[in-house]
Amino acid sequence: MKLVTKIFKRNDWYITSNYGWRICPFHGKEFHPGVDYGTNIQKWPLYAIEDGYVQLIHYGSKGYGNYVWVRYPRLNISVFHAHLDKICVKNKQKVNTETIIGYTGKTGNATGIHLHLGMTKIGSNTWLNPHDYDYDLESNKEINNSNKIIYIVKKGDSLWNIAKKYYKDGRKYTKIAEKNNIKKPYTIYPNQKLIIP
């Protein structure tokens, strides 16, 4: 599931501007460090992805308008929600999947109601493309230093004996996974991490 689907708890959003270089109606050529998701000219609620806390809220009429940063320690990401019509959380507040962070709007430099969604690793100032990441509660995953999804593994798998030889080498593990037609990552040791491209 796309992160944005998790945030909206619905999947009828549409992309109005992609991550990357673009011609901005306000600034000309610029790097767009997130993805804009249209919400059908309506103010949709934004939900927290999972347990986390509010890092920063900001009310403004310029730039990103009203925005909220939420940190998710387990996923090791900070998520940026901008141009909100309304903010429903406070600084430092704990959040969970039932928490409404705010509602989509067009505050700041926006031509219509949408969510600007940005993402970084916690403590990093490098933007990631949030549309590249899926959220899958079952897989217990986070985002690692090379910006790939990694999986935290658990003991007790049919490939345990083979994979444990290679657990330090994500590429070798991937070959094993491909060879065995494994769609989902397999488990080796508790808290051991594997890189799955």
How many residues bind Zn ion, per CB under 5 A? 2
CB neighbour class for 101 (10 Å; exposed up to 12, middle 13-18, buried from 19):
buried
Binding mask 47-86 for Zn ion (x = CB under 5 A): ----------------------------------------
Smallest distance from Zn ion to CB 115, Å: 9
Q: Is residue 115 close enough to count as binding Zn ion by CB under 5 A?
A: no
Of 6 and 81, the one with the shorter C-beta distance to Zn ion is 81
Give CA–CA dist 119/130, Å, rounded.
Answer: 6
Considering only 29-37, 50-58, 121-129, 159-167, which stretch makes contact with Zn ion by CB under 5 A? 29-37
Could you identify the residue written with the tokens 């000219």? 41
- At a CB cut-off of 8 Å and minimum separation 6, what does 52 contact? 70, 71, 72, 73, 94, 95, 96
**Angle CA 68–70–71, to nearest 5:** 155
By CB under 5 A, name the one of 6, 71, 81, 116 that touches Zn ion.
116
**Residue in this structure with the two tokens 């103010």, named with its chain if needed:** 43
CA distance 76 to 140: 12
CB closer to Zn ion out of 6 and 116? 116
- Site membership for Zn ion, residue 36 (CB under 5 A): yes
Q: Name the segment binding Zn ion (CB under 5 A); options: 69-77, 110-118, 137-145, 175-183.
A: 110-118
Stretch that binds Zn ion, among 34-42, 50-58, 128-136, 137-145 (CB under 5 A): 34-42
Query: The tokens of 173 are what?
Result: 């593990």
Residues of the shown chain interacting with Zn ion in the complex, contacts defined by CB under 5 A: 36, 116
